[in-house]
Every structure is written in structure tokens, then in C-alpha cells.
Amino acid sequence: MTVALVWFRNDLRLDDNPALRAALDGGFEVVPVYVHDPDGEGLSRPGAASDAWRARSLAALDDELRRRGAALHAFAGHAAPTLAAVAAACGASAVFWNRRYEPDIEARDARVKRELREQGLQAESFNGSLLFEPWTLRTGKGGPYKVFTPFYRAALTRWAPEAPWEAPERLPVPEEAPHGLDLAHLRLAPKRGWDGGFWSMWTPGEAGALEALEAHLDSALHDYANGRDRPDRAGTSRLSPHLHFGEIAVSRVALAVEAQRGRIADTHIDAFLRQLVWRDFAAHLLHHFPHTVHSNLDARFDGFDWASPNRTTLESWRRGRTGVPIVDAGMRELWCTGWMHNRVRMIVASYLCKHMRVHWRVGADWFAQTLVDADLANNVMGWQWVAGTGADAAPYFRIFNPVTQAERFDPHGDYVAQWLPELAPLPVPLRHAPWRDPQRLAAVAPSYPLQPLVDLARGRDDALLAYRRMRNDA
Ligand code: FAD
């Protein structure tokens, strides 16, 4: 039998893993490999919360492999020479992996493939993470999509999922393979344990991902179209970090949800599948417009007068001390759990980009550091959408009012009370706008800001003025 390396990256699962399947179908013995190469990842270099997740996810993958008679061989270094050296050490003739679609990673992987092939190795990559790879859906004129709805329609017409592939109970492995590093030596887990609050909510790894899917099918999916906008309920799947790290195949998720038709109303199933297509749309945009990692997709905003962020005000936003409860609750949820509800992500992003007029990149950088689901494509698309600079974005002049949003989507104030317990004694609607009764606020929560960092009406007017100036200058 000849040997193949299976290079694991953001596909940390065995189930329905096309690279692993290709190795087994090709009759190879497999050496599962992980290469820690943060420098090679450029702008996709993971943040601290991502690393904390990855540390656990790699350990879970290693456990799954050991259960099947194999193990994860971990190395640190540049990907191409490391893979070539490992292949030489175990006599491998092939390297298989699943593709990623971020610009710096695509460029790195193209180099890796070329260099491995130049050394006579078979190097093949596969789609293990999207329903549609970025180049498969095209507009009538053959170009990329910039608007979601036609992309979504095209996706619905073309969707023809295959039954998922299940990994075998035992994996054929060669007698000798370089042992590699102990996973702890990759130093991914935080030293100071600031991630302690994460793990009551999350179980990184394939088993945790399947559990999250099962839980979603049993509960949130039944009312997803209504519940998905309510941060005070467990109304969404919380699959995002599992999908980001490829601990579950998106096609398996989509098929499992699709199979609920008849048991769960179509509105909920359609609404959920639509969100999975948003994920593909983000990858599509990033692949075709790679400059959007740091520049506006809508170039008219290049002349926008962003405010220079002052360190203290920025820190108030980051730490959840803006004095606007729904914003502060979201930022504290993020800090404590590594995740934030989508509706609240939009509210905190809008407050930063519009009321504080801070460039969306500043917010995107903070999310990239603190989210366990930090994903370059989704994050950039989300921030540019809220800032009004991106694809299919709401017009700039539609500015979220955080109080109205809170009253609508957290009607009983439960979400605010959960993350800002000091405000729980205040009745709703005061809990969402406590500055309206400063005396009462000071009595129940003396350390909470008495006034919002940026007054809501003034912040809105200033943002609109800056927008009008930009249009007049253009
Ligand atoms: P569900 O509602 O259960 O959706 C199922 C899956 O669909 C999600 O797991 C996710 O993979 C995908 N999805 C859902 N909504 C979106 C969306 N708007 N865009 C793209 N994919 C989506 N998502 C990330 O995964 N990583 C990020 O770094 C990220 N940054 C964001 C930044 C901002 C400013 C905003 C507004 C949104 C961002 N999102 C990001 C999208 C969205 O907030 C999360 O995907 C969602 O909250 C994850 O929770 P869930 O798994 O319970 O979602």
C-alpha cells in the first residue's frame, strides 16, 4: 500500500471529509497531519479566541483518530517544506487537503500545491466547506454576484446534495510516521485561562458539532424564522464555530435540516437554509473581491470622514461600557462566551460605525480577536453590510436606533438583564434607556455610565451630515 498525508486545516472532522475520502478511495494508508503555520495565513491569521477553540478541536480530532487506530501528527513551520519533509519521512507519495477560500490562504495553498508537485508528489485539494465554491455560481453575464437574492436563487436552482460519506471504523496507517509535536506545544490554548467562561457553552470538535445540530433540529429550528432575531432566546443553531472549523460538513447540516420538511414548517427550514447560503455568499464575495478585507466594496465610501478613534472611547465599546445597554450586553456576551447573537452583532456594529463613526475595520479586528467563530469572509461581509459600504448593504441613512431595536428584539429586557445584571432591577423600558432616569440609574447601578458615550440623536445627525458631505464631495 502507498501512503498519503491528509492535511487537516479548517476541516477538523472525519465524517464527510472529502480529502480523507479521496485518500481511502485511492487505496492509500493515511497519515493525518496538522501544520501550525500562522505566518503563512497572512490576513487570516487567527485571533486569540479562535486559537483557544482550535486547541480543543485538534485534541478532539486526535481522539477521534486514535479511536480508529490512527493519530494526528502535528508540526510547526511553513506548510510546503513541512509537508514535503513529513511525506519524505513516511514514504508518502500524495498529499490531500480541503480547500479554503481566503485570499492569503488561497495564494499560500497554490504555492504549496506547485512545490509539492515539483517534488513529484501527488497534491490534490477538494471542497469540504461550502455548498457552492466561489467560482461555481455566476451571473447571466458570467461575472460574480454582488447582490444576495439572485445569488440565493441561483443556489436554490443548482443545489443537488450528495448523501454524506461516513468515515470507516478503522483507518489504514503505515507502520512508521514521524511522531510530530505534542499538541500542547503548539501553544494555542491561552496561558491565563481567560477562556474559562467559554466551555460551559461550547464543546469544540466533531461530537460537539453533531450534538449542536441535533439540539437545533429538536428545538430552535421549530420556530427559527421568528426566534432567530431574538437574543433573549436560544433561537439559533450556534453552529457557527463548528462550521468555521469544519467540524461538521455544511452539506450534512443542510441535508439534516431539509429532511425535517413535513415535521417542521417550511418557513423555518427555508429561513435557516437561506442563512447557510449567506455563508457561501460571503466566501464568494471574498474570493472575487479580495481587497474588501481592508477596503470598502463600495468605493464611494473611500472619502468618508471616519472619526479617529480615541483609545478610551474605543475601550468603552470593547468592554461594554458605552452606557447603551443592548450594546454593552452584546459586548459582554462576546467577552464572556466568544460569541454574540447576530441581531446584537448588527446593533453593536452600527453603534460603532454610525454613532461613533469609527471605521468598520476597527470593529472587524476586535471581532476577529474575540469571536470563536471569527471567519474572515463572514466578518468582513457583516461589518461592511452594517457600515453601508458592502454588498447588498442597507442604505447608509438607515441607522439602527439601539433603543428601538432592544425594545423590539429583547421586549422583556431579559437579554440585557442576563449580561448586565446591575440593570436588572430597572423596569422595561427604562432598562433599555436608563439615562432617561439618571437618579434611579445611579441608585441601582452606581458604576454604570449615566449617559451614553455618544448621544443617540446627536450621533445619528453627525453620521448623516458626514454622509451628505461625502456625497457632495464625490
Ligand atoms: P444561525 O442563525 O443558526 O445560522 C446558521 C449558520 O449560517 C451560521 O452558523 C453561519 O455559519 C451561517 N450564517 C448565519 N448568518 C450569517 C450571516 N449573516 N452571514 C454569513 N453566514 C451566516 N459569522 C461567522 O460565522 N463569523 C464571523 O466572524 C461573523 N462576523 C459577523 C460580524 C458582523 C458585524 C455581523 C453582523 C455578522 C457576523 N457573522 C459572522 C454572521 C452571524 O452573526 C453569525 O454567523 C451567527 O450569529 C452565528 O450564529 P448561529 O450559528 O447560531 O447562526
Q: β-pairing, 29-36 with 73-76?
A: parallel
Q: Which protein residue's CA is at the shortest distance from atom 49 of ligand 1?
A: 238
Distance between CA atoms of residues 328 and 441, nearest Å? 15
pLDDT band at residue 317 using 50, 70 and 90 as cut-offs? very high
364-402 tens-digit pLDDT: 999 999 999 999 999 999 999 999 999 877 788 889 999
> 95 - beta bridge partners?
5, 123
Q: Which protein residue's CA is at the shortest distance from atom 9 of ligand 1?
A: 240
List of long-range contacts for 365-370, beta carbons under 8 Å, 24+ apart = 366/318, 367/334, 368/47, 368/50, 369/47, 369/48, 369/49, 370/47, 370/48, 370/49, 370/334, 370/335, 370/338
88-136 tens-digit pLDDT: 999 999 999 999 999 999 999 999 999 999 999 999 999 999 999 999 9
Ligand 1 neighbours (beta carbon < 6 A): 228, 236-240, 243-244, 275-276, 278-279, 282, 342, 345-346, 349, 367, 371, 373-375, 378-379, 382-383, 386
| 11 Cβ contact list (under 8 Å, min separation 6) | 17, 19, 97, 98, 128, 129, 246
Residue 379: what pLDDT?
98
Q: For residue 445, how many other CB atoms are within 10 A of its CB?
A: 19
230 alpha carbon to ligand 1 midpoint, in Å?
14
Ligand 1 atom at shortest distance from the alpha carbon of 348: 34
Residue of 284, 372, 378 to mutate, ligand 1, most atoms within 8 A of C-beta: 378
Distance between CA atoms of residues 30 and 11, nearest Å? 16
Distance between CA atoms of residues 361 and 364, nearest Å? 5
Residue of 152, 275, 327, 351 to mutate, ligand 1, most atoms within 8 A of C-beta: 275
Q: In this structure, are residues 11 and 99 in contact, taking their beta carbons and an 8 Å threshold?
A: no
Residue of 226, 373, 400 to mutate, ligand 1, most atoms within 8 A of C-beta: 373
pLDDT band at residue 472 using 50, 70 and 90 as cut-offs? confident
Q: Per this entry, what is the length of the chain?
A: 474
Q: Which protein residue's CA is at the shortest distance from atom 4 of ligand 1?
A: 275
| ipTM value > 0.95 | yes
3-class DSSP state for residue 29?
strand
Q: Tell me how far the alpha carbon of residue 219 is from its chain's centroid.
A: 22
| 254 Cβ contact list (under 8 Å, min separation 6) | 131, 159, 161, 273, 276
Average pLDDT for residues 36-55, to the nearest whole number? 92
Distance between CA atoms of residues 17 and 128, nearest Å? 6
Q: What is the DSSP letter of 246?
A: T
Average pLDDT for residues 425-431, to the nearest whole number? 97
Q: What is the DSSP letter of 395?
A: P
171 alpha carbon to ligand 1 midpoint, in Å?
34
> 29 - beta bridge partners?
3
| Percent of the chain with pLDDT strictly greater than 70 | 100
User: Mean pLDDT over all residues of the chain?
Assistant: 96
Does residue 51 have a pLDDT over 90? yes
3-class DSSP state for residue 328?
helix
Ligand 1 atom at shortest distance from the alpha carbon of 341: 47
Does residue 427 have a pLDDT over 90? yes
Does residue 165 have a pLDDT over 90? yes
Q: In this structure, are residues 287 and 106 in contact, taking their beta carbons and an 8 Å threshold?
A: yes
252-311 tens-digit pLDDT: 999 999 999 999 999 999 999 999 999 999 999 999 999 999 999 999 899 999 998 889
Residue 474: what pLDDT?
65
Average pLDDT for residues 137-145, to the nearest whole number? 96
Residue 174: what pLDDT?
97
